[in-house]
Structure 1
Amino acid sequence: MTKLSVNINKIATLRNSRGGDMPNVVQFAKDAQQFGAEGITIHPRPDERHIRYQDARDLKPEVYTEYNIEGNPIESFVNLVLEVKPTQVTLVPDAVDAITSNAGWDTIKHKDFLVDVIKEFKRHGIRTSIFVDPVLKQIEGAKNTGTDRIELYTEAFADQYSLGNKDAIKPYAECAELAHTLGLGINAGHDLSLENIQFFKENITHLLEVSIGHALISESLYLGVENVIQMYLNKLK
């Protein structure tokens, strides 16, 4: 069964919009796990506009499933991850002013940088994953960085699937097969939802984990958090 990791950035966004501590990020993570989530994902950015660095520290003793911290490995992020020591760090090439992640790594151009960063994380026992576009040469490049896993950037699939183009899954399926052949674990995330997650799961072999935040939180406004988490788990079986 593919693991569901719940990205709780949107909970932090809601909290920050009014100040104070409502909703409480740590309590939401605890509840999500109690409802069946098999991981918690956060993506702190340098301006801390949603998840704050202190949130990452506060969550550490409360996440008893898998703890995944995503972000661009600038110095402050690297130091935070080495301090917190999550289960997994997912490297994302965010621009500082990016609203959300919008591209995968060029694993060939940035090979030397990624090799050094990944080596440091793995030296501290932290599993590594690289955010990549569904391009075969980028999967091959990821293998050469020493990463444990890749995370397939699924926005293009989600956009096309919503238009009825199911062939949009093909490059993802091909990349997943190559990654598995190369010994890389396969994660996926970005714009996955209750609408498209089952089709994605059925067509991507060896899928270990999906990270879902915006859609899951939005769907929960109508259907309830516990119910939505269970719906995702059923579709991921």
Structure 2
Amino acid sequence: MPSASPNTFSDLYSAYAAGCLDPAFAMMLETQSAVRSDVRRSVVVSEMVSGSFLDAAPEAAMSEGALERALAMVDALEMPAAAQRDAGRAAGAALRELLELPEPVRGAALDAAGRDGWQMLGLGLKRLKLDVSEAMEVELYRIAPGARIPRHSHSGAELTMVLSGGFTDERGNYGPGDISMNGPSDTHQPVADDDGVCYALAIRDGGLRFTGLMGAIQKLLGAR
């Protein structure tokens, strides 16, 4: 299956370990780590390497009460996650699918579903915009078995990771944890596998450019 091959000492893992990765990519990496053990091992090694550099660096004085404030922030992050799970279980079949997604996408998706709801894009295709990053577009797609995203190219770079199920496009098949990478010169049409619903997380720094009838409508509306 085509995917972004994990590299133990890649810039991506190093930036994540250093805490300077864009929140959208950090969420994708953390979610991929939850799905794939090879990525999880690479992240752990990168964190150990970064930690060794931190250990060798001169100590910085902490402000008074810094530890207490940090622990309080951790508690504040953990509490809503449990509340979201409880709320999701009570909401019915639609949200039960979201509860099966790996964290941290699950929490972001539950927030977005409760705040803005899903947007219908076509037969068997829904999109949920996640409020994760100011610099990147972050979207969760639900593609019913056999349904397809309209053929499109990209105005920038796009990374799409399968969370559950799978899809196929002109370049190959993608399953849970696989990442499809596309740029402005790539045109494709992802089609969900027939054996189950596909959930996919897409991160891009530009909009989609549809072809055919959808492209004509997009131009008419003046959309990106």
Instruction: Please state which band the TM-score falls in when normalised by the shorter chain.
Output: under 0.3
TM-score (norm 2): 0.27
Q: Point out the structure with max Rg over C-alpha.
A: 2
Greater helix fraction, Structure 1 or Structure 2: 1
Greater strand fraction, Structure 1 or Structure 2: 2
